[in-house]
Structure 1
Amino acid sequence: MKKNSKRNNKLRVCDIVLNSVDAEKENKESQNNFVELLPLEVTFKIFSQLDIQSLCRASVTCRSWNHTIRNSDSLWKPHCLTVRAVCRREIDNDLENGYSWRVILVRNYQKSKVKYEWLSGRYSNICSPVSLPEKIMCPMDADTWGEILQAELER
């Protein structure tokens, strides 16, 4: 009986030590997470200095960063508006449909990239639809195709 109680005491002491180590680790992680320590304005200012790729990478760092970055339209709006060749009309339509700026950026980024490449002349030497790179092509509306055609005619 005494052996069992000693063994149980040892387990309890180990559990207490392990729990205190875990709590210490959580405290250190919390102290190292400036998102939780700084005022929101300062945190947003820091995150607003990141480019799109860095912002996406930061969002997978930890849950609190992900929550802060994912749910902050003020971080995504400038990137969405500055992505090259995104039609304002597409953004306005997405806003009217209630999408967040982050979702609008995700929805329009690939399209804007393809449109920019068309407008900059990257595909000017393509003679047939078979020559188009399928992986990067995406559906575009008639107005966008009109802009591309106009750019091609001006070349």
Structure 2
Amino acid sequence: MQYVSKRRPNTYDLFEGSSTVIAVDETSGHNFAETLPTEMSVNIFSKLDIQSLCSAAVTCKLWNDIIEKSDYLWRDHCLTVRAVCQKEVDSDRGDGFSWKVTLERNYRKGYVKRAWLSGRFSFIHCAEDIPDWSMCPLDAETWGEILEAELER
């Protein structure tokens, strides 16, 4: 679906799902990242959720360069994972990993740990019933937390 802005008749906003993608200005042929200062582009990208940020990174070389060079963009997403995997995230940050690398290393662990702790697998009757995606290397302390949660249920 395409919408022509009434304020700037040659600018288009493309709507896909709930995300708004800022497109090319027809008169100049440039996207917003080419005309705005890098700091403003980073501010725009910082409003995206993790999936949209990853999609934006593969949109064009300029966007990829901005996103890859700005570790700040990954910080809030990484802190969300830290709420579940605090020890792992703190360890990676202490070892000098960037926010993005720390997020990549712990995102799946955080998702899996959250699913186990929420009781998503409480009624599994045998090992074959556990989906492959729900298993990943977790430390003994994490498995202890999961076991405690299951025993409380």
Higher relative contact order (CA 8 A, sep 6+): 1
Code of the residue aligned with 2:134 in structure 1: it is I
Which of 60, 63, 66 lines up with 2:61 in the alignment? 63
Unaligned runs of 5+ in 1: 1-27
The CA deviation string for residues 100-133 of structure 1, in whole angstroms up to 9 with x for no partner, is 1111111111111111110111000113323211
SS at match of 1:126: coil
Contact 2:45 2:53 (C-alpha < 8 Å) held by counterparts: yes
Kindly name which structure, 1 or 2, has the bigger radius of gyration based on alpha carbons. Answer: 1
TM-score, structure 2 normalization: 0.75
2:45 matched residue in structure 1: 47
- Residue 85 of structure 1 and its aligned partner are, at CA, apart by 5.2
- 2: distance between equivalents of 1:148 and 1:111? 13
Misfit runs of 4+, over 4 Å: none
Which of 125, 129, 132 lines up with 1:131 in the alignment? 129
Unaligned runs of 5+ in 2: 1-25
Code of the residue aligned with 2:77 in structure 1: it is H
The CA deviation string for residues 49-81 of structure 1, in whole angstroms up to 9 with x for no partner, is 100010001000111110111221110010111
Contact 2:38 2:66 (C-alpha < 8 Å) held by counterparts: no
Higher helix share: 1
Q: Percent identity?
A: 59
Count of residues in Structure 1 that have an aligned counterpart in Structure 2: 128
TM-score, structure 1 normalization: 0.74
- 2: distance between equivalents of 1:140 and 1:129? 17
Distance 1:104 1:62, change over 3 A: same
2:74 matched residue in structure 1: 76
Contact 1:58 1:66 (C-alpha < 8 Å) held by counterparts: yes
SS at match of 2:97: coil
- 1: distance between equivalents of 2:133 and 2:148? 24
SS at match of 1:83: helix
- 2: distance between equivalents of 1:88 and 1:68? 28
- 1: distance between equivalents of 2:151 and 2:71? 38
2:103 matched residue in structure 1: 105
- 1: distance between equivalents of 2:101 and 2:91? 13
